[in-house]
Structure 1
Amino acid sequence: MTHARGDVDAVASSIGMTFMLKALGAKNITILFPEGVTLEARKLISYVDIADANILFVKKQDTCYSRMLTDSTCIVLDTADSNQLRAVQDGISLCRYVVVVDHHAHGDMARRANLVLIDKNSSSTSELILELLRTLNGTLSYNSTVLECLLAGVLSDSRRFLHNVSPRTFELVSWALTKGAKYSKALELLRTEVPPSARIAKLKCLARACIMKIDTLYLCISHVGAYEADCANSLIALGCDAAFVFSEDKSAKAVRLVFRSNTEFLNKFGSVYESVIRSILKELGGSAGGHEQAGGALLKIRKVEEGVHVLISVLKKALGTELVPLKEHRVCGDNTW
């Protein structure tokens, strides 16, 4: 199982883990995706054939998964905190054994697990699965489509090798290519047609953004109804050094916060996750997961405005400076033309 709304890395590592378990003789494998997967990740599921493995998209009100988890070995991938499991969170207590494979900072899943493989210096959980497969070299017959999915997971979470990569990352990519994976196929898996709703969300995110200058760096805060991760990535691509995007999650009766930052911001102010997100959680409650430069939180509040207020207060303390929004004249003003 993965975190809710599994992204490319979560889905890729699930595919890789399933292939490895099947090759080692495991049976009755079920992959649980709480609340489905992201648009980008759907392509991976249709690309690879996971024969004899059940794939179950668990909705919040579903209870059919409980029988599957009872007395089973549950492998939790790409998930630091049990709150991120959302629809299947309560089912963890039903498992006989819990194994966690992840690359995020430790959350409560590490404490609840019987066996843990966590490396926060890894680019992705997919990289850790590649390392496990390489360790079994000579034991398995490798499937090129599975390796291509794992390469896509590495590429996605490292932002095309820009974030948290190490010599091992490139060694494992090279190893996967020698085993038949095609780099061009992995890149193709990451190409998805952007739906109109995502384009609109990005445009609204930009229109609503509050931009603040701190020395030579720019910090951006915005809110949208959906696609908050895509919006945060877009703000970084447009020139923000750090981006915080809020959205109201009515089904969870909470507010989501996604953050991204670049290397310049990290070098000057340190880890956003450690200095900002943890402080917000202490004040508002909730759960979070992520790295120094990317991640998200589910806050126990109902209104975005409350989250923005606390975020700005925490940022001022963490950065040691006042935050002054840039004020620019809007071409259209507030008029209806």
Structure 2
Amino acid sequence: MSLSKFDKFKLYVFLIAMVELISIIFGAVLFGFNVVFLAIVIFVISIVMIILLLYAREKEKHDRIVEVSKILGSDAKEAFAYGDIGMLTYDENFVITWMSDFFISREINYIGEKVTKWLPDINRIFQGDEDSIVLEFQDAYYEIERKADSQMLFFKDITYEHQLELSYENEKVVVGLIHLDNYDEATQYQEEMNISIIDSEIKQPIIDWAKAKGMLIKRIKNDRFMVVLNETIFAKLVEARFSIMQEIQKTSDSYAIPITLSMAYARGTTDFQQLDEMLNNLLELAQSRGGDQVAIKKFGEDVKYFGGNREAQEKRSKVRVRVIAQTLRELIEQSHNVIIVGHKEMDFDCMGAAIGMSRIVSTYNKVVSIVYQDGDMEEKLAAALNKYSVQLQARLNFVNEIEALSILEESTLVIMVDHHNIQQTNAPELINRAKRIVVIDHHRRKTDFSFMPLLVYIESGASSVSELITELFPYQLSKVNVSEEEATIMFTGILIDTNRFKSRTGSRTFEAASQLKSLGADPVEADELLKDNYAEFELKTGVLKYCEKLDNGVIVTPYGGDTLLSRSIMSQIANEILSVQNIEAAFVIAMIDDDTVALSARSTGNINVQVIVEQMHGGGHFTAAALQRKDGTVEEIYSELKNVLANYFSERKNENESDTAS
């Protein structure tokens, strides 16, 4: 038990008195009686003064206790003892002057010490920020309140209640879904023996893992399991970073089959219907982002993700494309007119998809319009549209948002292409007012929709939306009439989004490119549309001087020049950086206007730039992502990016070590 300042004072007085007494004895031996007599008189006077001082301090303490009793009433001691409540008083300097028996029984004694030094967090009460606080000390939890207009604090031991609350929180129900990505495709043409091997090597480990962790697991579909667990078990899964995902990846790789896991966990509410709705939305989110990841949501909070370290595989089948085409056809036929909306700063893929969708709608003799905002598109696209203006304006109907709102009706079908977020759209008011919306995109979903779409076709494994739209052409009731100029713009969209067929390119991509070629797309003309002029070449060369090579095959270009860069130039520079040997990801940071800073990220496929940029409140997909921020600077974004990169590679290292250990 620590001594108070007053107890220490009494100890020091005792020691001084003993030193004086010893000195008197030695003086008597050395100097004789007269000197000793004088010393004894002085010693007695000192002792009397000390006794009087001690008496005064004890009386002051007693008076303080009486004063406290008067404040609280004559039965205060018994009442507070019965309620297990402690009290302490302090002076104007926050020095503790008295502590009740509540503290003595717990061997807590800080009389003479500053309460703010003993409990620094108590300042929140003194500053008026909070009326009461809960603090932990000596393995117990106390709720502390200050008595108004007095220098007194009340302590209530709530350790038992805290343990009950903690136990309640830990036992709350968490529900999850575990989905085997690509299972049907991987086993569709396998022999029974091979399927049984796949089941025993992939499905059974999932069941064993769930049971070993204490979860209830039930198979609800051939490729899907439902699990029930509590918060304690869930915390352990998060700590282990859902190690089963790495185990399944490793097994799948050994058998050369593209099976991964998509997992969803809903928590934070006792409403089972709410949990069920959250769970289904979360699994859809995980799959639409490419699978191989975990989507987690606590009620009232944002979605969090784990994993996603592999690029999405092509999962859409010809059957799915035909079903989407049929559903889309029915929605078009039920509509009075159709409006196609792209994203801000439209690029070739966005415009190509809008043009392709417009030609599909035209086959059903419906009035179709494309929302087009002057100046809100990439420079090379604007040049291409100007070059083909006569041919395009004769076949397509371009409108601005105000004109689109004037033709919006209850039965109007609005089709969003190359984006799915209202913050990215070039016609936000139109989306807010529309009753019938379709989404066609290839970017990984970031969060839930802020609107209610009738149809969602998001394929993050596709190279581009132009590829997705091209695949719909053969499944229309009549041939889709696409001109050479329109086909060339769509082909250019695929060309850019695949970095000239170097990334995110599957067999379906080449099939779509071949189909566009048969419709008149000119690859030479497409290449011509993308060529830089000398000023652009000079600008890119100047920006590349700012490149900085970091660890893990990353190059960051924080451009500090005076010239404002366009987003298209930034993405082109990032793609060029990827041509450097042993470079896996490139990030370009620059000002795009006087008060907006942007970041463009590109990857070869070994680093998930979407996950990185999402940590900075941007978005995109596995190999291409971006963000822009108002009132930011290049230096701030660069500093933030370095921290996010450090966390990303640290987590990857931990996952790899966990995988090796397992």
Check 1:172–1:219 CA distance in 2 against 1; reply closer, same or farther (3 A cut): same
Structure-2 separation of matches of 1:102 and 1:257: 21
Check 1:165–1:210 CA distance in 2 against 1; reply closer, same or farther (3 A cut): same
Partner of 2:559: 223
- When the two chains are superposed, the root-mean-square deviation of aligned CA atoms in Å is 2.8
2:537 pairs with 1:199: yes
User: Looking at both structures, which has the greater relative contact order when contacts are Cα pairs under 8 Å and sequence separation is at least 6?
Assistant: 1
Question: Match of 1:162, SS?
Answer: coil
User: Unmatched 5+ residue regions in structure 1?
Assistant: 282-287, 322-337
Question: Match of 2:556, SS?
Answer: strand
The question of whether the paired residues in 2 share the 8 Å contact of 1:301 and 1:307 is answered with no
The question of whether the paired residues in 1 share the 8 Å contact of 2:473 and 2:479 is answered with no
User: Unmatched 5+ residue regions in structure 2?
Assistant: 1-340, 652-662
CA-to-aligned-CA distance 1:269-326 (integer Å, 9 cap, x gap)? x41212x112122xxxxxx3322111211235522222111110110111129xxxxx
How far does residue 13 in structure 1 lie from its aligned partner after superposition? 1.1
How far does residue 122 in structure 1 lie from its aligned partner after superposition? 0.5
Aligned pair count? 299
Check 1:36–1:205 CA distance in 2 against 1; reply closer, same or farther (3 A cut): same
Check 1:300–1:88 CA distance in 2 against 1; reply closer, same or farther (3 A cut): same
The question of whether the paired residues in 2 share the 8 Å contact of 1:201 and 1:231 is answered with no
The question of whether the paired residues in 2 share the 8 Å contact of 1:145 and 1:181 is answered with yes
2:608 pairs with 1:277: no
> Aligned partner of 1:154: which letter?
I
Question: Match of 2:615, SS?
Answer: helix
Write the mapping of 1:83-98 to structure 2, written as runs, cut at 5 A: 83-85=423-425, 88-98=427-437
Write the mapping of 1:101-140 to structure 2, written as runs, cut at 5 A: 101-107=440-446, 110=449, 112=451, 113-136=453-476, 138-140=478-480
CA-to-aligned-CA distance 1:124-180 (integer Å, 9 cap, x gap)? 000011011122274434433322322221111111211112111122222333344
Partner of 2:626: 296
Check 1:219–1:151 CA distance in 2 against 1; reply closer, same or farther (3 A cut): same
Structure-2 separation of matches of 1:320 and 1:186: 41
2:546 pairs with 1:208: yes
Identity %: 23
Check 1:144–1:16 CA distance in 2 against 1; reply closer, same or farther (3 A cut): same
The question of whether the paired residues in 1 share the 8 Å contact of 2:354 and 2:370 is answered with no
Partner of 2:485: 145
Partner of 1:81: 421
The question of whether the paired residues in 1 share the 8 Å contact of 2:550 and 2:556 is answered with yes
Check 1:260–1:160 CA distance in 2 against 1; reply closer, same or farther (3 A cut): same
- TM-score normalised to structure 1 length: 0.78
The question of whether the paired residues in 2 share the 8 Å contact of 1:5 and 1:34 is answered with no
Structure-2 separation of matches of 1:51 and 1:289: 36
Partner of 1:232: 574
Partner of 1:307: 637
Partner of 1:247: 590
Structure-2 separation of matches of 1:289 and 1:195: 31
Check 1:76–1:35 CA distance in 2 against 1; reply closer, same or farther (3 A cut): farther
Structure-1 separation of matches of 2:482 and 2:509: 19
How far does residue 191 in structure 1 lie from its aligned partner after superposition? 3.3
Structure-2 separation of matches of 1:235 and 1:134: 38
Structure-1 separation of matches of 2:534 and 2:408: 35
Question: Match of 2:392, SS?
Answer: coil
Among candidates 625, 643, 650, match of residue 320 of structure 1: 650
Partner of 1:22: 362
The question of whether the paired residues in 2 share the 8 Å contact of 1:11 and 1:44 is answered with no
CA-to-aligned-CA distance 1:72-96 (integer Å, 9 cap, x gap)? 42211111322222x5323310222
How far does residue 120 in structure 1 lie from its aligned partner after superposition? 0.6
